[in-house]
Structure 1
């Protein structure tokens, strides 16, 4: 996900007020295996009609469980008409955001059941029903972080993954795009059309969505047999086909350098998402003003495509570790841009991201993994994105390029179609490098702030010695390597060293040939500091 500008993000964060905890107790009780959502959409009302067939696997014996589903309140929310098991009604109650279901007898651990929930209502959120900028009515799922249960009965937590299919019946002037591959499109009586999409890979509900609008659709290309398509509003047809065509080259790079693409197609969709981009699995939604025909969104496209590996397939186990999604997507974008445009492009991007981290820390000092956050949307912050990227960048230096790539690929392979916490990433990177990274992760991920440095030097021309003084101004010292260059009056580098910094104040002395006029800190942009 690429976040919006700060003032818009603050508005969204306040408006959504997502106060649910990061832990969902259902994930220890049951594991959803598959969802089959049948939805009816209409033009004369925002009311949707739904049927959810849900295959459950019980991890523990129980005669009761709940699904997440927002109940109708003041005309917005869902009303459940019945819940059945093998066509027999089940007892249920629906309060606030929970659909409580009672079984006729306890289901033993290991048993699988198929239940059906019939429901209807006007979504308060999650499914955005709104006119696009051209005045056309549209429907777009926008589920992050836990907004799927505004319109879909589910376990709305990133640690519960299931395959999913959507059968959408809507007026025939709409086209429907969703996760997976399209297996049916049938015109029905009364000017309706039924469209059926099916994804067999397990997904967290945050990225299981539909998009329904009058679209212009183009096959942009293929990557190793994987179709890459563009879905844009009809008025943006020409510009959209140009802009989203960049996804083919981007997908090729990730497919080659990370691992084979985990899904059977990639659709790039102009949408009404409230975010800059939303990484829905195989079905990326971009904000509606992302199209202008000038190919200016390459980094946005790269960010969302990176999420197909990190965030969708290898997912954070809870939202507090969302940097494993957003930090990875941010740095993977940096890596793609480095590969295409060169190392100086990477250094420039890292300097920009460092500036953003410093600005954010001036407003709010907090660790990347911050369990004090109550509003989950507030986790879409600079720490999760840019500082997360900086952690990976410094980790790359700490263990070397070869071990870094080895570790990143191993991490993905170990946790694809599963979930991880920061400790899991640390463990994989330690295995890849043969180094203990406990101190590294502790200071950069679980500690607030960053080094704030004052560096001075003194030149002794008689002895041709330069003394360098490094002082850390924050409360307690960090440990890190600091690259420095000393330049003469002609800007020629006359001394280049890497200093190992571990204390609040350190002094170094080096012989030097020439008269130093300037000191440069971190010329290659490998350290997060102020």
Structure 2
């Protein structure tokens, strides 16, 4: 499914502070246990969808099932919206039923054991239910169709809005659908068309059959005055695969034009993920604006985006890819929706790579990664682990876009051959079944021979991001070679645990453009790696190939002309004043707290969110200025860059600099400030004759106005500055208080603190700390604390 909240037609930004960190305990999530005792093997669904005036659905569904355990005397089925009229057993006898939370419970009138097979048939009618945002059964004057999931309802599965079922991700069944329509209408359903019967009253009953076992949310029906466009693809074994597109007659040509690369997508996904295991490819146009839905072999696709252009072809590819990720292999619970939607979002990148080349793939990954670092935790209200996203955020950007970003990182860990061959085998071994993140990890580890424990612990089971940088280089000559010890430093963004064995490409260079590259690994807060290099490097950098999506976005550029260079990926403008020969410029935008100011009593409050590093191969003829944009805004294209630092006016902002990490931060000697309106929280700081080193935005003299930082009335800190202890009093209910240092590291956390909480600060280092209160994962107060 591709929907609006995952940057489809729009992106809703929620201006709240994200939770500090959360980690999945790596135990299975609760699931619908009905499937442990009963296997529903087949549904015969009969629908009458002729009432386009009062929009009443009439139906009866036969549910054929087999007990998995003995002594089954009842079955509970889900149904939402229509009213149950009667229930019958396999012999037509009436059965009693009672309401249940999401449907009804049927007394079977006997006891059934393993080896038995029986059925119940439910007759029902009524108006249908829709999620106001997305999902349900839609019935209007021109269309009747279902969308199998709800964005807002929990549980999300919405098969139950049009037939009684076990509505979960686990139970897989075959289906026959018999859909009675007006003679001017046709029915597009999943599966293989079996034929149409003309009824005495001139209505028509269309029969479709789904042979492959699928969950209830993936079966589909759509009724309108459809016409079908039929064609076929050739699969990798030279077998024909039927293709059926359903649309109003006036929409068929634009649809075909928008889908000119559908066969390319099919070929790309087969080559990358293995054979297409379904009876046909199918799309049906429906009047939705909030997204598309990956119903098996009958994808519900918004008619508004089948407009004849290729603007939305990534949506087309996304939905097709679900026939590998989501339909063929399905997440066991919503908490692991990344297996479905993160994978399909990643397949958009794979589609672009197959269609336009590696550079196009890298560009899309790079752009999405930058936006994730800036906004994902704000969009979704927290730094959630990929496995364990709360169901209120199942269909958010963590699942979709961060899911894709982490799968890109998995590819970086494994390399292309192991990655794609491993995923092919994973799909082969788990086809038509469900899985969770733990099984995914263990199966792929066994298939590839690569132990993925660290990868899943660091990228799937933990929220936030790691940030890795080169702290310093130590160089010792060893014969004609030079032993270079690379001292690595790891920081935490929205998480509490350091990562282990992150593979990163190390690049070392000297002023003569000599280059050495190898792969090294970052583990823990600090570690060192020694490599042998045939020259004396003057600087180094990590992740040039961007195979690993950590909390850095960087620009590498060779400059040969004067003028302004928009280094948008690094959030900086470079104004080249003079260049006499080619120079290499590296600008890293680090989405992590910079090292704190050592002389904290100087009153410089450094940004807790980001800093820059500038380096490269420069000569005496190179001179440039640099423009650093700041923004404390919480909406718009520059939102959430500095909102934790800039909470008031801008006139105290300064630009800090240090040439390397062996010295403290100082104010850069030559720069200008462009505040504009000092209350709009946006502007620029412009460094004149920029130098190599690190740069950060800060507030000067903040300690003289400490009370202004703590003027928020929801909580009080005292004494502040603290010397040994601090008390936090709040007049709002907080379910936890989180204290983090200037680098964003967790110092202490208190659950259910009540109206007053005391903290002993005697062992804390002198400096500044953030005290944040949360209620249901949203910030209710945020205070600045000084510890003396």
The whole-number CA distance in structure 2 between the counterparts of 1:489 and 1:217 is 65
- Compare 300-309 and 218-227 and name the one that shifted more: 218-227
Deviations 1:422-478 (A, max 9, x none): 222222222222232222212211111111244455698999887755322214321
Deviations 1:392-444 (A, max 9, x none): 33333323332222321221111111111222222222222223222221221
Task: Flag the structure with larger Rg.
Answer: 2
1:329 aligned onto 2:344: yes
Shift of 1:278: 1.0
The whole-number CA distance in structure 1 between the counterparts of 2:115 and 2:372 is 46
Which of the numbers 481, 492, 511 marks the counterpart of 2:503? 481
Which of the numbers 139, 142, 156 marks the counterpart of 1:137? 142
Partner of 1:213: 224
Shift of 1:356: 3.7
Q: How does 1:222-261 map to 2 (within 5 A)?
A: 222-223=233-234, 224-261=239-276
Partner of 1:526: 547
Contact 1:255 1:261 (C-alpha < 8 Å) held by counterparts: yes
Partner of 1:501: 522
1:196 aligned onto 2:204: no
Deviations 1:120-163 (A, max 9, x none): 010112543355xxxx6111210113111122100000100101
Q: How does 1:102-113 map to 2 (within 5 A)?
A: 102-113=107-118
Q: Please, what TM-score do these two structures have when normalized by structure 1? A: 0.88
Contact 1:469 1:507 (C-alpha < 8 Å) held by counterparts: yes
Contact 1:315 1:415 (C-alpha < 8 Å) held by counterparts: no
Q: How does 1:452-467 map to 2 (within 5 A)?
A: 452-455=467-470, 457=472
SS of 1:473 mapped into structure 2: strand
Partner of 2:767: none
Partner of 1:92: 97
The whole-number CA distance in structure 1 between the counterparts of 2:166 and 2:101 is 15
Shift of 1:31: 0.9
The whole-number CA distance in structure 2 between the counterparts of 1:52 and 1:208 is 13
1:49 aligned onto 2:42: no
Which of the numbers 371, 384, 398 marks the counterpart of 1:366? 384
The whole-number CA distance in structure 2 between the counterparts of 1:163 and 1:10 is 38
The whole-number CA distance in structure 1 between the counterparts of 2:223 and 2:213 is 23
Deviations 1:156-204 (A, max 9, x none): 0010010112111111222211111111123334442211111111011
Contact 1:270 1:290 (C-alpha < 8 Å) held by counterparts: no
Partner of 1:176: 187
1:3 aligned onto 2:3: yes
Partner of 1:32: 40
Partner of 1:162: 173
The whole-number CA distance in structure 1 between the counterparts of 2:63 and 2:289 is 28
Partner of 1:82: 86
SS of 1:53 mapped into structure 2: strand
Partner of 1:69: 79
Contact 1:404 1:429 (C-alpha < 8 Å) held by counterparts: no
Partner of 2:364: 349
Contact 1:221 1:248 (C-alpha < 8 Å) held by counterparts: no
Question: Relative to 1, partners in 2 of residues 1:238 and 1:435: Cα closer, same or farther, differing over 3 Å?
Answer: closer
- Compare 452-461 and 279-288 and name the one that shifted more: 452-461
Contact 2:76 2:103 (C-alpha < 8 Å) held by counterparts: yes
Partner of 1:117: 122
Partner of 2:448: 433
The whole-number CA distance in structure 2 between the counterparts of 1:455 and 1:229 is 54
The whole-number CA distance in structure 2 between the counterparts of 1:341 and 1:374 is 36
Q: Which residues of structure 2 form unaligned runs of 5+?
A: 14-28, 150-155, 552-788
The whole-number CA distance in structure 2 between the counterparts of 1:519 and 1:270 is 53
SS of 1:228 mapped into structure 2: strand
Q: Which residues of structure 1 form unaligned runs of 5+?
A: 12-20, 71-76
Deviations 1:317-369 (A, max 9, x none): 22212111112222233223223322222222221232243231355111111
Contact 2:6 2:397 (C-alpha < 8 Å) held by counterparts: no
Question: Where in structure 1 do 4 or more consecutive aligned residues deviate above 6 Å?
Answer: 7-11, 458-467
The whole-number CA distance in structure 2 between the counterparts of 1:380 and 1:494 is 44
Shift of 1:106: 1.2
SS of 1:168 mapped into structure 2: strand
Contact 1:311 1:326 (C-alpha < 8 Å) held by counterparts: yes
Question: Relative to 1, partners in 2 of residues 1:356 and 1:161: Cα closer, same or farther, differing over 3 Å?
Answer: farther
Question: Relative to 1, partners in 2 of residues 1:220 and 1:404: Cα closer, same or farther, differing over 3 Å?
Answer: same
Partner of 2:588: none
SS of 1:380 mapped into structure 2: coil
1:101 aligned onto 2:101: no
Higher RCO, Cα 8 Å, sep 6+:
1
- Compare 496-505 and 205-214 and name the one that shifted more: 496-505
Partner of 1:296: 311
The whole-number CA distance in structure 2 between the counterparts of 1:301 and 1:240 is 11
The whole-number CA distance in structure 1 between the counterparts of 2:438 and 2:255 is 41
More helix by share: 1
Taking only aligned residues, the RMSD between alpha carbons, in angstroms, comes to: 2.8
Shift of 1:298: 2.7
Q: Please, what TM-score do these two structures have when normalized by structure 2? A: 0.60
Question: Relative to 1, partners in 2 of residues 1:143 and 1:48: Cα closer, same or farther, differing over 3 Å?
Answer: same
The whole-number CA distance in structure 2 between the counterparts of 1:445 and 1:300 is 25
SS of 1:46 mapped into structure 2: coil
The whole-number CA distance in structure 2 between the counterparts of 1:343 and 1:10 is 30
Partner of 1:268: 283
Deviations 1:209-254 (A, max 9, x none): 1011223421243233111122223332321121123222211332
The whole-number CA distance in structure 2 between the counterparts of 1:410 and 1:458 is 42
Shift of 1:488: 6.2
Contact 2:468 2:489 (C-alpha < 8 Å) held by counterparts: yes
Shift of 1:43: 1.4
